[in-house]
C-alpha cells in the first residue's frame, strides 16, 4: 500500500452527502472505480441516501457535472471518476489535460472537496489493475481522500 494513501479509521466527517460523478466511457473500468468508492464509503457508514452516483458520457464531462453537483448545495463533497487510455492520437493529452484542469477549478471555485479519480493510463491492463477489487483501486483511494479532506475541514472549522 502507498504511504500516501489515507489511513483508514482516522476519519471524523459527521453526517455527509457525497456525489460520485462517473464517466460511462470505458465502463468496465469506471464501474470498478465506482464500486471501489462505494466500498470505501460503506466501511465508514456512508451509505444509502448519503451517496448519489451520476453518470456522464466521458471524462471530458466530469468537470461540468462535478460543478453542477457542487453548486446544487446538496453535497459536502464530489468524487469524479473516469478513465482515459492512451491511443495513437493526441486526443489523450487534450482530454486528460482539460479534465484535470477542470476538476481542480471546480474544487477551488466552489470551495468544496472534489476528488480526482481520473485514470490516465497507457493501456487497458494498467486501467484494470487500478480499478479492480484490490488495494490499488483508485476509486477507493479517491473516496478515502474525500473522507480525509472532510475530516481536515471539520478540524479547521473547529479551530476558528
Annotated binding site for (2S)-2-hydroxy-3-oxobutyl phosphate: 88-89, 130
Query: Strands across the sheet with 51-56, in order?
Result: 51-56, 18-23, 77-85, 114-121
Q: Catalytic residue at 44?
A: no
Cell of 43: 466501511
Phi, psi of 22 (to 5 degrees): -130, 140
Q: Pick out the residues of the known binding site.
A: 25, 59-61, 83-85, 88-89, 116, 130
Residues 6+ away with beta carbon under 8 Å from 20: 34, 37, 38, 51, 52, 53, 54, 78, 79, 81
Q: Which one of the listed residues 10, 24, 71, 91 is annotated catalytic?
A: 91
- Catalytic residues, by residue number, are 91
Amino acid at each position: 500500500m502507498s504511504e500516501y494513501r489515507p489511513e483508514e479509521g482516522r476519519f471524523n466527517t459527521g453526517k455527509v452527502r457525497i456525489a460520485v460523478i462517473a464517466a460511462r466511457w470505458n465502463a468496465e473500468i469506471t464501474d470498478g472505480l465506482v464500486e471501489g468508492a462505494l466500498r470505501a464509503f460503506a466501511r465508514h457508514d456512508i451509505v444509502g441516501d448519503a451517496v448519489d452516483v451520476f453518470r456522464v458520457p466521458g471524462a471530458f464531462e466530469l468537470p461540468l457535472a462535478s460543478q453542477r453537483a457542487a453548486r446544487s448545495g446538496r453535497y459536502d463533497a464530489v468524487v469524479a471518476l473516469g478513465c482515459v487510455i492512451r491511443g495513437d492520437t493526441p486526443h489523450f493529452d487534450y482530454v486528460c489535460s482539460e479534465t484535470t484542469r477542470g476538476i481542480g477549478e471546480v474544487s477551488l471555485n466552489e470551495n468544496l472537496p472534489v476528488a480526482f479519480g481520473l485514470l490516465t493510463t497507457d493501456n487497458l491492463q494498467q486501467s484494470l489493475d487500478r480499478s479492480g477489487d484490490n488495494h490499488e483501486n483508485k476509486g477507493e483511494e479517491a473516496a478515502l481522500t474525500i473522507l480525509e479532506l472532510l475530516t481536515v475541514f471539520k478540524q479547521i472549522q473547529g479551530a476558528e
